[in-house]
């Protein structure tokens, strides 16, 4: 489990293809002496398992299933990633509960600066639109964000300067695709309603 509060921007160091899967090495500022092999790190919203570590770099294996549901297949050497280590008992829950399981890809359709902040509008696959509500939470590339408004399969968020400067959102352009994770509570409510029809 994660909170959606990004604590480092990592960099893809290398990509090794292994049949349909891939192995990534990622540079980080985390103190990896405190990170166990088998620990989870959210990499731009995807929960991935540390399989090896060397100095300031950790390795993860990504299955074909994960590649098919995310944009990890488009990552290259030098790609910047939002990183968050898994939540520990007693940690501050500053964002919302994020599982690191990507539900789909959202497309940025509008980016406008408003004062010191930025207004971003995303379009999501139609089947995910019903899970997003005004003033609810979503995770975009691992970042916990509050939804401002929803219209059909589009929704808007407002990004403050701190988030803009300390995550990868400052590098996004219109037409770009990001990892979307809907709020866990919304997922269960929707399932209960569908089941009880």
pLDDT digits (tens, 9 = 90+) for 50-85: 999 999 999 999 999 999 999 999 999 999 999 999
Contact (CB, 8 A) for 72 and 66: yes
- pTM for this prediction: 0.92
- Taking domain 8-85, whether its CATH number is 3.50.50.60 is answered by no
Contact (CB, 8 A) for 40 and 47: yes
Instruction: Over range 111-123, report the average pLDDT.
Output: 96
Looking at the structure, give the CATH architecture of the domain made up of residues 104-195.
Beta Barrel (2.40)
Residue 48 has pLDDT above 90, yes or no: yes
pLDDT of 187 reads 73
Distance CA 155, CA 166 (A): 22
* 97 — pLDDT class (breaks 50, 70, 90): confident
Q: What is the mean pLDDT of the chain?
A: 93
Distance CA 124, CA 180 (A): 8
Write the burial class of residue 159 (CB in 10 Å: 0-12 exposed, 13-18 middle, 19+ buried). buried
pLDDT of 8 reads 97
Distance CA 47, CA 63 (A): 12
Query: CATH 2.40.30.20 region(s) of the chain?
Result: 8-85, 104-195
Q: Say how many C-beta atoms besides its own lie within 10 A of residue 85's C-beta.
A: 19
Of 171, 164, 169, 173, which is closest to residue 115 (Cα–Cα)? 164
| CA within 13 Å, CB half, 18 | 11
Residue 115 has pLDDT above 90, yes or no: yes
Write the burial class of residue 145 (CB in 10 Å: 0-12 exposed, 13-18 middle, 19+ buried). buried
pLDDT of 49 reads 97
Residue 111 has pLDDT above 80, yes or no: yes
């Amino acid at each position: 489990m994660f909170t959606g509060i990004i604590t480092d921007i990592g960099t893809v160091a290398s990509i090794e293809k292994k049949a349909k899967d891939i192995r990534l090495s990622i540079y980080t500022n985390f103190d990896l002496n405190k990170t166990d092999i088998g620990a989870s790190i959210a990499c731009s919203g995807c929960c991935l398992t540390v399989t090896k570590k060397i100095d300031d770099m950790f390795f993860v294996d990504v299955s074909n299933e994960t590649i098919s549901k995310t944009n990890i297949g488009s990552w290259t050497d030098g790609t910047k990633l939002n990183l968050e280590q898994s939540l520990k008992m007693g940690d501050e829950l500053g964002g919302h509960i994020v599982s690191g399981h990507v539900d789909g890809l959202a497309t940025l359709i509008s980016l406008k600066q408003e004062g010191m902040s930025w207004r971003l509008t995303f379009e999501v696959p139609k089947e995910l639109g019903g899970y997003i509500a005004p003033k609810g939470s979503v995770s975009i590339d691992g970042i916990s964000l509050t939804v401002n408004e929803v219209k059909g399969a589009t929704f808007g968020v407002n990004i403050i300067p701190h988030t803009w400067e300390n995550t990868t959102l400052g590098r996004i352009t219109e037409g770009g695709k990001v990892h979307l994770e809907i709020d866990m509570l919304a997922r269960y409510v929707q399932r209960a309603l569908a089941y009880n029809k």
